[in-house]
Amino acid sequence: MKILFKNAEIVSASETSIKDVLVEDEKIEKIDDNINEKADKEYDLTGKYLLPGVIDAHVHFRTPGYEAKEDWKTGSAAALAGGVTTVFDMPNTKPHTTTLEALAAKREIVARNAKVNYGFFFGGEADNLEDCKEAEGIVGFKVYMGATTGQKALGKKDNIEDLLEDLFANTDRVVAVHAEDEAIMQKHAEVYQGDHTAEVHSLIRNDEVAFTAAKKAIHIAKKYEGRMHICHMSTKKEVELIRKFGGDLITCEVTPHHLFLSIKDYSTHGNFVKVNPPIRGQHDQDILWKAVQDGVVRIIASDHAPHLREEKDVDYWKAPAGVPGVQTTLPLMLNAVNDERLEIQDVVRLLSYGPAKLYGVQSKGAIREGYDADLVVVDMNLMQQVKDKDMKSKCGWSPFSDMYLKGWPEMTFVRGVLGMENGRIVRSEELEGKEVVVS
Ligand code: DOR
Ligand code: ZN
Ligand code: ZN
């Protein structure tokens, strides 16, 4: 099967250029000024951008154990609709992906159901070092410094250093941390226990909670020269840490909800914007944007964490934290380009090239000859409202609903197969997600 894209403005992490692109089966075969080969399918992309597929390096697709919230069919559909061709799944499923058996079982289910490419995080715990050492093919380890939805704090306060030291010394993958300090947030939870408004979430898990944990993690990574990644960085104080200590060994990611939502949104969304770490004030958000713009932040990932409406629609203390996002990340960032907050190349840097580089993913994250044909056609002029009814996630809602966004993915190809066209999932029987190869 050959697909020819004519007159595409192809985007890399640093520049754009108008080219023809020939795809043969799963790969990008040729990129040139003018390709006149006969193809099975030809698209004239005049006026459109062609981007490498988004690699969302942080999703919770809930399988196994919480399939009522999401499964790989609905999660993949949400990804395809959002221009996402690869996702990395987190280990807080049931059972946790913290044993070799659990990893093998998850691999088996996902291989049968995924319509986008994928990678797995393996949970690092106080007592599973042997399994961590043997967990082959994973993209990285995930360590929870504080408790969060479906997850106790993995490293107890006293042994987090031992745990990280062991992982750094005995394995060679990135250690991604959920950095929130358990002891401080428990203290805050006591102070606010009589308060039932969703706003209290940002006070309990305030910037000190995030900063204290991130500082500790960075200190340990420095000491052992470990490769550490701070997930979902959300505060000015953490940005300052990363500005000081970040680099190739210590990296960070930011989520769209921390860039586009703030504590103002509690009044209209309540528990539907309850997420860990929580949304912040305007000042933190401005500082995050600056760090995203100037390259201190290497990747943007959605932390897609769906929960059903009825689970959210309860008392603050009973509502699970987490918001869906895999479908809306790219449109939000494209809208930011139209708003002149970013260049289109930044979108590729943060959503495709950055994650591929950071996790050592082979043959993805750029439009290059020989690379996988994971591709997204983008229409920068399409203006559309985010609507709950268009969300493909099983949860069926979005914290970004009602926003008007300009710039949307129009077609998504997974290794050469068209899986989404104009918001509709197509040919899903032909699509087959494949586990990424990392080095
Ligand atoms: O809000 C969150 N929800 N933060 C997490 O760290 C986990 C996630 C979930 O799995 O629901
Ligand atoms: Zn987390
Ligand atoms: Zn997460």
- In angstroms, what is the span from residue 28 Cα to ligand 1's centroid? 36
pLDDT at 38: 96
Q: 232 alpha carbon to ligand 2 midpoint, in Å?
A: 7
User: Which ligand is in closest contact with the Cα of 65?
Assistant: 1
pLDDT tens digits, residue range 413-428? 999 999 999 999 998 7
Check if 321 has its Cβ closer than 6 Å to any atom of ligand 1: yes
Ligand at shortest distance from the CA of 88: 3
Residue 402 pLDDT: 98
| Alpha-carbon distances, residue 36 vs 8, 30, 133, 384 (angstroms) | 14, 11, 50, 35
The structural domains of the chain, ordered by start, are 54-359 (3.20.20.140)
**Residue from 60, 209, 253 to probe ligand 1 pocket by mutation (most atoms less than 8 Å from CB):** 60
- Pairwise CA distance, residues 143 & 217, whole Å: 10
In a mutational test of the pocket of ligand 1, which residue from 62, 89, 92 has the highest number of ligand atoms less than 8 Å from its CB?
92
**Amino acid found at 71:** D
Please tell me if the CB atom of residue 179 comes closer than 6 angstroms to any atom of ligand 1.
no
DSSP 133-196: HH-TT-SEEEEESS-BTTB--SS-GGGHHHHHHHHHHH--SEEEEE---HHHHHHHHHHTTT--
Give the pLDDT of residue 157: 45
pLDDT tens digits for range 259-269: 999 999 999 99
Query: Which residue is catalytic, options 56, 71, 181, 303?
Result: 303
Ligand 1 lined by 149 (C-beta under 6 Å): yes
Longest dimension (CA), the chain: 70
Assess whether the previous peptide bond of 409 is cis (omega < 30° from 0): no
Q: Return the ligand 1 atom nearest residue 321 CA.
A: 1
Cβ of residue 322 lying under 6 Å from some atom of ligand 1: yes
Ligand 1 atom showing the smallest separation from residue 320 Cα: 11
| 379 labelled catalytic | no
- Residue 58 near residue 231 (C-beta atoms within 8 A): yes
| CB atoms near residue 50 (< 10 Å) | 23
For residue 306, which atom of ligand 1 is closest to its CA?
11
Q: Which atom of ligand 1 is nearest to the CA of 178?
A: 6
**Helices marked H in 192-294 — which ranges?**
200-204, 207-224, 236-245, 256-260, 266-269, 282-293
| Centre of ligand 2 from the C-alpha of residue 277, in Å | 7
Distance 379 CA to ligand 3 centre (A): 29
Q: Hey, whose CA ends up nearest to atom 3 of ligand 1?
A: 322
Mapped onto helix, strand or coil, the DSSP state of residue 217 is helix
CB of 148 closer than 6 angstroms to any ligand 1 atom: yes
Mutate to test the pocket of ligand 1, among 96, 209, 303, 323 (most ligand atoms within 8 A of CB): 303
**235 Cβ neighbours under 8 A, 6+ residues apart:** 207, 210, 211, 277, 280, 284, 287
**Cα 368 to middle of ligand 2, angstroms:** 32
Give the pLDDT score at 147: 81
Residue 187's Cα: distance from chain center in Å?
A: 30
Q: How far is the CA of 304 from the centre of ligand 1 (A)?
A: 8
Find the ligand nearest to 276 CA. Answer: 1
Confidence at residue 426, expressed as pLDDT on a 0 to 100 scale: 96
Q: What is the DSSP string of 304-318?
A: B----HHHHSS-GGG
Dihedral, CA of residue 213, residue 217, residue 223 and residue 224, to nearest 10 = 160
| Mean pLDDT per 10-residue interval, the chain, length 439 residues | 98 98 98 97 98 99 98 98 99 97 98 98 94 98 88 65 95 97 96 98 98 98 98 98 97 98 98 98 98 97 98 98 99 99 98 98 98 98 98 98 98 98 93 97
Angstrom distance (rounded) from CA 198 to CA 239? 25
Q: What is the pLDDT of residue 158?
A: 55
For ligand 1, atom 4, the nearest C-alpha belongs to 276
Give the closest residue to 90 by CA, choosing from 138, 152, 126, 52: 138
∠ at Cα 279 (273, 285), nearest 5°?
A: 135
Given a contact cutoff of 8 angstroms between Cβ atoms, the answer to whether 56 and 329 are in contact is: yes
Ligand minimally distant from the alpha carbon of residue 57: 3
This model's pTM is above 0.75: yes
Cα of 39 to ligand 3 centre, how many Å?
41
